[in-house]
Amino acid sequence: MNNAPAIFLGVFLVFASAWLGLIFAPYAQLSGLAPVVPAEGGDAYPRPLGGLAAQGRVIYRVNGCIYCHSQQIRSERFGTDIARGWGPRRTVARDYIYDSPHLLGSMRTGPDLANIGARQPSAQWHHRHLFNPTWTSPGSIMSPFSFLYETRKIVGQKSVDALPIPKGYPLADGYEIVPSDHAKALVAYLQALDHTTPLPEAEEQ
């Protein structure tokens, strides 16, 4: 008995269902979505990234931040993300309509960053955290991104961008640590991550 047609049909259905579920369904879901204007007024949400934040998104990708941080707040039915204070609501498809590629992440070695711009709006906090994570988060296992910063001799007045250095850090007198353009762009991107705008489809049923 020749089973080739049945095998072929089975393989075809497996690949077709995978394509429908992983490619077509998300495309159909996202393609019809548009920004919305909040009921209380203000700018439409979401807005496409531009300028320094858009450059920072590239820095985020090339430095592998996606491998330790997610950008997706789970429903209260499937996790404790909201209870942890990572966001006031679950993220939904509309949050990502301007993202290409999507940076949902593959695991959570560190906390979710979908709303890190709302939780930590301070640029100085982000710079200190990137340079030495334990300065802001004692016990952190995050790798330092000190290569994005420059130690240089102070000429004239100290730079307004210079990082506040804690006591005991081995920095020679007359020197300062300042962020590179890449560090500034990355921090601008992190500050732009704010998915706290209420959306009707994000309400828990």
Domains of the chain by range and CATH? 51-202 (1.10.760.10)
Q: Quote the pLDDT of residue 149.
A: 98
Once rounded to an integer, what is the mean pLDDT over residues 191-199? 94
Q: Quote the pLDDT of residue 148.
A: 98
Q: Quote the pLDDT of residue 142.
A: 96
> What are 47-102's pLDDT values in tens digits?
999 999 999 999 999 999 999 999 999 998 888 899 999 999 999 999 999 998 88
**59 neighbors 186 (Cβ within 8 angstroms):** yes
**91 neighbors 204 (Cβ within 8 angstroms):** no
Q: Rounded mean pLDDT of the chain?
A: 91
Once rounded to an integer, what is the mean pLDDT over residues 145-154? 97
The two most distant CA atoms of the chain are separated, in Å, by 89
User: ∠36-41-47 over CA atoms, to 5°?
Assistant: 40
Q: How far apart are CA 2 and CA 6, in angstroms?
A: 9
> What are 18-61's pLDDT values in tens digits?
888 877 877 777 677 888 887 777 789 999 999 999 999 999 99
